Amino acid sequence: MGSNVSGKAYALTILSPIKNAYVAGVACADTVRDQLENWNLLQNSPMARVPQTYLARLFVLDDVFTQSLPGAGALDTVSDFLPAVPDGIRRAALPTPDHLKSKYLVFSIDFHGELEPYLRGMWQAIAPEIQSVWQHCYGFDAVSDAEDFVAYMKKCQLTAALFFVGSNDDPLGEQLKALYLKQEFSRFALESQGLPTAELKKRYQEFIARVKPTDLTGPAWTPGQYALLKHSDARQEAAL
Amino acid sequence: MSNIAGKAYAINVITPLRWYLAWVNKIIFWVALKFPQYLKGLITLSLIHYARWVIIGRKQFPHLHPDQPKEDLKYGYMLFFSNFNGSWDQYIDSFTFSIPGGLDLFWKWSVRYPHSVALTPFHDYIRYNQVETNHYYSAYPLATSNDVKAARKLKAMLIDFDNKWHDAPDAEFQKHYNKLLLGLQHDLGDMRPTPIVSMAAAAVDKRRVRDLRKAAQHTVAAMEEM
Amino acid sequence: MTKLQTASLDLFDIQGDIVRPYGRFGFPFARYVFFNIREGTRGRAFLTAILAKVTSAATWGIGPDPIPKPLATTNLAFTYQGLKNLELPRATLAGFPEEFAMGMKARKDILGDDGPSSPEYWDPIWRKSRDKNRDLDVHVLVSINGQSMAALEERYQWLLEAVAASDGGVVQLSGHRGHDGAENLPYQEGHALLEDGQLCTKEHFGYTDGIGDPYFAGLADASERVRGRGKQMDDGTWAPLATGEFLLGHIDEAHEYPAAPVPFLLSRNGTFMVYRKLHENVASFDGFLERESRNFSGSKALLKAKFVGRWADNGAPLTTAPDDKSKAEWDARFAQASDVEKDRMLSDFTYDDDMSGAKCPFSSHMRRINPRASLEFTQGDKPGAMVRSRGAFDTPGALVNRRRIIRRGMPYGEAKDRTSDRGNHGIVIMMLNADIGRQFEFVQQQWINYGNDFKASNDKEILLGNHDKEYPSRAVLPADPDGERAPYFLRNIPRLVETRGGDYFFIPSMTALRLIAKGLVDPT
């Protein structure tokens, strides 16, 4: 009933079961998590190299949570309509502790395009990084090329019940070019305020020649750029 | 760990569903998709890049290998992933105040959901069932959803203007240039780094920037010695 | 025994400064005196001694046994460290919110107090507070407002006697900057400015101040004061804001009691207050206005109004008087209006007819600190137009109602030399709210120093934003989407206002003050 597709945007939800084993004295799940945390220490995320990726997140799901907060739902409180609640019913109304038998690597990506080309692109761009994280997952041993990877991911995939696109479903290159243009044009508009028309037109034409609005291979933001930019980093700021 | 990538925040919430009610939840989502006017509040809030709800039946966790034990769950689960702008507090507050009915519609099938009004029980429920992200990536950390939307509009209008008026005589050029600016007047904000999301997150970021800078200096120094 | 005046709020329990902006009630002189509590027992004895003169919110001059209007008012507030030194139990202290416990200086990154606003440039009293020497921490604020300087002086002397009687248990902190390079004054002064020899409500940039004041449930004169000051409803009416947005122990807009420490009696009818000393760079302001007015297509007065959202001379809202012509008409009506009508003209307006910001810009002071219902907006069909997205939210003010702030305070100093930014002149502002993080800090960080909620990316609020030279600030003054004119861009906005110090305070109720003074606070 649900769909992973909204226009040209795709919501990929992956749950990869992690082996219930250990490597060099560290549980597989913890190793996976540690590897992901290492990605946080890099200059830029490996996902920046995967084409058409808007946003992506990864985490290790250790277990589900047992509820203990008070509820307000009818099903939690329906027994209250009885004048006297037998103990069996009262206890049955409490949330049951529930547990996963395996830990899962959860991978949620919002990207532009179709699933298989995207996954192939991912494998081509960052296969070593993928392997370093997924090597401890069940069934990943059999993955040695892009096609294996696509097949493996499809087995781990879940379908979204509702995929909401708040921004748009343009190709990433379009979005990055557009953001670049927004930044540059707003600066241009500011700097050229009040100029006599002839001068304005001349500067505008120079501006267009510099930013090349229709050329996606021309100047634009790069994926994940400015990830670490802070006010104190004057050199990087100057490039903005 | 980081739930933050520039101006985007990643929230992951997993809540149990009574397995025999999962289908109700799915239908509600389907209706919301079919009749977009139900999403008007969400769209007006304008804080979300992309969001999704996933319902996993209790027997639907991926099973890939004979060695992997089969799940034996009592509940189905609903996963909620959102990429939004602002801090967690701002996001939850905004939703609770602007679309409490919508929140309830999506979550009331989850076990022990306290409804979105009053605020604190709802906060607590989301926090309780939230899982931290280990790694989060945004292709445009300096841009909010508003920025991405504004940018697309700006690009289209700029190209259209350029096609028509690039070499126009001065008076025509000026007139339509003014019109262009007028049409884009709410899309010309300057994009810079995000305000800090919290003191804790800012501290982690500071250390990370410092460590990377040190590492870069070491590399440069090492190369110079070669 | 006289029957209590009828009001929904316990006016006798609430401190007067919460409910009453003294400056507008005939108290044009203020003095803010800060103390360090050296020892708990004597500190509490000091409190007991001065309690008698603490001014409550009780209405003056009505009823058979009227409370006379005092010649001077006195009110108290405490920092977290102050409450600690007064020996409130740890179990109570732990219930105070994190931001209050940390204090304002530690939160500078959230507040954007950087560059010239950073603590290294603050007045010595604030620099040294919460630094190396704990004896210099600010613990207590005693604020005095006087109808006359004589009355204020008399109250001040009485206060000093109480301090002396504490025998070293309470020490007055010096370190306020004053005129001509003074660095070590014993108090912060505030006073209403004069215009043509008359007391006025202007501040040093020349704007009429102190018009807005959130209206919340329990206050008097609802029919006169709720419009424009409460919350805007879908059907065009206005409703009072929930009391709990401004007073602890009352239900707030989220249908719950605001987070507060235990015991209940300590927090009920109290509130949190943010004290900030804001220096005004009059030369930069005048220069900036002058420079931009040369290119701006309207009058200089109109441009000045665009920075704030109100005309400077009399506070006329831009949304109802968007240009020189309509301002002249507004002025004529205003001159004929009764006091109640004047108040309506100043406060009763919405942004519904100005969703594109052509009248009152999105980055103007007024629109940023209280957007009314204008955040329920979306792109319109006409290029450059924004429209109300009616019905999108549960209530039109859904994103705004919990971000309202009560503002109190006074200008200080004289801007003797308007060609210089230096000197000691500005405003002391005290912002009152039930939740510093959700109200003050949010507005400061997200709406003043950032613009995403206004679809303005990082663009800051023109007047108060922490503009700096390194990353030149800009603001868009939108034009009418139905017109032919392009929007006007303000460029290289200088930092107009700089923080010179302050901290986060707790204003207890009268009951709480008595409990603190007696050393009886106990959440068991």
Between helix B88-98 and helix B100-107 the angle, nearest 10°, is: 100
Q: Do the Cβ atoms of A14 and A104 come closer than 8 Å? A: no
Tell me if the bond preceding A46 is cis, omega within 30° of 0: no
Q: How high is the pLDDT of residue C262?
A: 93
Determine the residue of chain A that is closest to B175 in CA distance: A197
- A240, pLDDT greater than 50: no
Quote the pTM value.
Answer: 0.94
- A87, pLDDT greater than 90: no
3-state secondary structure of B93: helix
- C267, pLDDT greater than 80: yes
Instruction: Out of A1, A100, A175, name the one closest to residue B151 (CB).
Output: A175
pLDDT digits (tens, 9 = 90+) for A180-210: 999 999 999 999 999 999 999 999 999 999 9
Characterise A91 by phi-psi region: left (phi > 0), alpha (psi -120 to 50), beta (else): alpha
Contacts of C402 in chain B (CB under 8 A): 93, 97
C306 min Cα distance to partner chain A (Å)? 18
pLDDT digits (tens, 9 = 90+) for C31-81: 999 999 999 999 999 999 999 999 999 999 888 888 999 999 999 999 999
Rounded distance, CA B121 to CA B130, Å? 14
pLDDT digits (tens, 9 = 90+) for C104-157: 999 999 999 999 999 999 999 999 999 999 999 999 999 999 999 999 999 999
Tokens 């460590």 correspond to what residue?
A: B211
Q: Is the dihedral of CA C227, C228, C234, C236 positive or negative?
A: positive
Give the rounded percent of residues in chain B with a pLDDT score beyond 70.
Answer: 100
Q: Given pLDDT bands bounded at 50, 70 and 90, which one contains residue A103?
A: very high
Can you read off the two tokens belonging to residue C187? 């108090």
Can you read off the two tokens belonging to residue C342? 């004047």
3-state secondary structure of A120: helix
- B117, pLDDT greater than 90: no
Q: Do the Cβ atoms of A32 and A60 come closer than 8 Å? A: yes
Buried-state track A207-234, b at ≥16 Cβ within 10 A, e below 16: bbeebebeeeeeebbebbbbbbbeeeee
User: In Å, what is the CA distance from C515 to each residue of C10, C88, C164, C393?
Assistant: 17, 10, 23, 43
Rounded distance, CA A196 to CA B170, Å? 10
Rounded distance, CA C404 to CA C271, Å? 14
User: In Å, what is the CA distance from C180 to each residue of A123, B68, C278, C498?
Assistant: 70, 79, 18, 18
Q: Do the Cβ atoms of C139 and C36 come closer than 8 Å? A: yes
Report how far Cα C378 is from the mean position of its chain's Cα atoms: 30
Report how far Cα B97 is from the mean position of its chain's Cα atoms: 18
**Beta partners for residue B138, in sequence order:** A55
pLDDT digits (tens, 9 = 90+) for B33-44: 888 777 888 899
- A235, pLDDT greater than 60: no
Q: Do the Cβ atoms of C412 and C427 come closer than 8 Å? A: yes
Q: Which of A111, A182, A232 to mutate to test the interface with B (most CBs of B within 10 A)?
A: A182
Q: What are the residue ranges spanned by the domains of chain B?
A: 4-131, 145-183
Q: What are the residue ranges spanned by the domains of chain C?
A: 16-276+501-518
Can you read off the two tokens belonging to residue C172? 């007055």
Domains of chain A: 5-64+99-158 (3.30.70), 172-238 (no CATH)
- A228, pLDDT greater than 50: no
Determine the residue of chain B that is closest to A65 in CA distance: B129
- A72, pLDDT greater than 90: no
Rounded distance, CA B125 to CA B51, Å? 19
Can you read off the two tokens belonging to residue C374? 């204008």
Q: How far apart are the first and last CA of chain A?
A: 44
Subunits in contact with chain A (3 or more CB pairs closer than 8 Å): B, C
Between B224 and C428, residue with greater pLDDT: C428
Q: How high is the pLDDT of residue B1?
A: 65
Interface residues from chain C to A (CB-CB < 8 Å): 114, 295, 470-471, 474, 488-489, 491
A83 min Cα distance to partner chain B (Å)? 22
Chain B, 61-80: which have a CB under 8 Å from a chain A CB?
A: 61-65, 67-75, 77-79
Q: How high is the pLDDT of residue A227?
A: 54
Helices assigned H by DSSP within chain A: 28-39, 74-77, 87-92, 115-134, 146-156, 172-191, 197-211, 234-238
Report how far Cα C86 is from the mean position of its chain's Cα atoms: 27
Q: Is the ipTM above a cut-off of 0.90?
A: yes
Contact (CB<8Å) C470/A237? yes
How crowded is residue C227: how many other Cβ atoms within 10 Å of its Cβ? 18
Query: Chain-wide mean pLDDT for chain A?
Result: 91
Q: Given pLDDT bands bounded at 50, 70 and 90, which one contains residue C512?
A: very high
pLDDT (average), residues C352-372: 97
Q: Do the Cβ atoms of C119 and C127 come closer than 8 Å? A: yes
Query: Chain-wide mean pLDDT for chain C?
Result: 95
How crowded is residue A151: how many other Cβ atoms within 10 Å of its Cβ? 14
pLDDT (average), residues B69-78: 95
C491 min Cα distance to partner chain A (Å)? 7
Helices assigned H by DSSP within B58-166: 88-98, 100-107, 119-128, 145-165
| A99: DSSP letter | -
CA R_g for chain B: 23
Q: Do the Cβ atoms of C473 and C92 come closer than 8 Å? A: no
pLDDT (average), residues C455-478: 94
Contact (CB<8Å) A193/C489? yes
Can you read off the two tokens belonging to residue B63? 């099973």
Q: How high is the pLDDT of residue A204?
A: 97
Give me the long-range contacts of B162-170 (CB less than 8 A, separation at least 24): B162/A208, B162/A213, B166/A205, B166/A208, B170/A197, B170/A198, B170/A201
Determine the residue of chain B that is closest to C437 in CA distance: B89
pLDDT digits (tens, 9 = 90+) for C189-237: 999 999 999 999 999 999 999 888 999 999 988 888 999 999 999 999 9
Give the rounded percent of residues in chain C with a pLDDT score beyond 90.
Answer: 92
3-state secondary structure of A53: strand
